[in-house]
Structure 1
């Protein structure tokens, strides 16, 4: 059976992003501008708090991935305040605990990520970037539990607050309200 190029493109476009829904340019710009403003404000406040406290850590590396969810997909269950704040904070706590308990990185890394996913399931706060927070804590050898609260929890709260303000000002409802 002979198929045309059009047939193959249609059949296999899924693997090249063909399953992604169309997004208007207005929505793309709204999301990008929101992430720019949101991350800029969060980083500015976090750096200020760092300068006040004298702590070395002031930024969580997975904040960009959280910003994508909060600004580009504000209706996603994984972008809601509980998911962002609790998921990131819990995962940092898990990662730090694993650093204390497991000395071998090849065991600690998958253990931290998988246990953080389990914790997020239990607390109903699934947030994909949070699994990276657990890995970052292990890779960074974070030993102080305060890292989970500053910068992780504080950055997450700030991002959610800026996301809520920005989304509502630009016509997107965030956070989701129960029906």
Structure 2
């Protein structure tokens, strides 16, 4: 009886410990992880070069790793599509920068920035979860210049999407999704 109960409980609660995650082959895991590594290395190298060339110190965004996970590991997700990545990230940076100009309290500014960026992503149909982090990063870093939304945010997002499209298609994955 106890044995049956333990087996039942393990099965019932496995969901809370990753039991809802689909099985992913080791080949696909390595394909995805290598894509994230190569993609980020390429994007960051290009971005750093562009930053050096233009004299801009801010050439990377911390949430790029989360965007890379979506475009390389879950390329079929609606939240990994080019419009979601590029527009979501850029919009969230613009919202965060705008909020800083109007809200002095950091706690309120962060809350406004994240929630308003999500509202904007809903309206523009470009939901991209890492973008909400960009709104927070902008407020935490007290980024006041709208240029930041163009470089590094938009430029890095475009490069990431282009690299992901090339890599995915070279390795047998379709990205971006094509409407049927």
TM-score above 0.5, yes or no: yes
| Alpha-carbon distance in 2 for matches of 1:148, 1:101 | 17
Partner of 1:168: 169
The offset of 1:45, in angstroms, is 0.2
Query: Quick check: 1:146 aligned with 2:144?
Result: no
Give the unaligned 5+ runs of structure 2.
none
Query: Secondary structure at the residue paired with 1:116?
Result: helix
Give the unaligned 5+ runs of structure 1.
none
Query: Secondary structure at the residue paired with 2:143?
Result: coil
Query: Quick check: 1:118 aligned with 2:139?
Result: no
Partner of 2:71: 70
Task: Trace 1:41-52 onto structure 2 (pairs within 5 A).
Answer: 41-52=42-53
For residues 126-174 of structure 1, what are the alpha-carbon distances to aligned partners after superposition, in whole Å with 9 as ceiling and x for unaligned?
0000000000000000000000000000000000000000000000000
| Alpha-carbon distance in 2 for matches of 1:176, 1:9 | 37
Partner of 2:103: 102
Partner of 1:30: 31
The number of equivalent residue pairs is 179
The offset of 1:67, in angstroms, is 0.1
Query: Quick check: 1:56 aligned with 2:70?
Result: no
The offset of 1:56, in angstroms, is 1.2
Partner of 1:11: 12
For residues 102-140 of structure 1, what are the alpha-carbon distances to aligned partners after superposition, in whole Å with 9 as ceiling and x for unaligned?
000110111100000000000000000000000000000
The offset of 1:4, in angstroms, is 1.8
Query: Quick check: 1:159 aligned with 2:157?
Result: no
Query: Secondary structure at the residue paired with 1:4?
Result: helix
Query: Secondary structure at the residue paired with 2:37?
Result: helix
TM-score norm. by structure 2 comes to 0.98
Task: Trace 1:126-145 onto structure 2 (pairs within 5 A).
Answer: 126-145=127-146
The offset of 1:177, in angstroms, is 0.2
